[in-house]
Amino acid sequence: MIKSLNHIAIAVPDIAKAANQYREHLGAVVSELTQQPEHGVSVVFIELENAKIELLEPLGENSPIAKFLERNPQGGIHHICLEVDDITSASEKLKSEGVRILGSSEPKIGAHGKPVLFLHPKDFFSTLIELEEK
């Protein structure tokens, strides 16, 4: 079902500092900062040949990454995103197998304008998994 790695998302307390660290020491090409108030994050993208790294900083009152940063004040890997061909059939399959989907279990439009789902980290060895339709 899963096809390829789309991105690894890293929550950081200071996105400008983090972007600079990747640029200066790893030669990363870092995108402009974009604010996504509907997702409660500010984001920069680092394009790799085969995937992206996304640096995320909380934005606004109810950021979904605020709690994570409280527990991990220096930052850390927040989720990995894997691509699937058909998010609706993936959702149905996982539900029928008892895998917990966060929220309503209906795919939502994610940060890249494509439908996504998040799987409960307790079902995947403490890793939050985002599934994104290709």
Does 53 bind Co ion (CB under 5 A)? Our answer is no
**Residue 56 Cβ, how far from Co ion at the closest point, in Å?**
8
Which of 57, 83, 130, 132 is flagged as catalytic? 130
The token pair at 59 is 């934005």
Question: Which residue's structure tokens are 């402009």?
Answer: 32
The token pair at 123 is 């079902």
Does 82 bind Co ion (CB under 5 A)? Our answer is no
Compare residues 27 and 102 and give the one whose CB is closer to Co ion. 102
Compare residues 27 and 36 and give the one whose CB is closer to Co ion. 36
Does 9 bind Co ion (CB under 5 A)? Our answer is yes
Options 16-24, 34-42, 44-52, 75-83: segment touching Co ion (CB under 5 A): 75-83
Query: Of 35, 1, 37, 29, nearest to 15 (Cα)?
Result: 35
Note if 130 is an active site residue.
yes
**Residue 7 Cβ, how far from Co ion at the closest point, in Å?**
6
**Alpha carbons 37 and 41: distance in angstroms, whole number:** 6
Among 28, 59, 69, 81, binds Co ion (CB under 5 A): 81
129-133, strands of its sheet edge to edge: 34-36, 41-47, 52-58, 5-11, 76-84, 129-133, 115-119, 108-109
Compare residues 9 and 94 and give the one whose CB is closer to Co ion. 9
**SS3 state at 7:** strand
Residue type, 102: L
Q: Which residues bind Co ion (CB under 5 A)?
A: 9, 81, 130
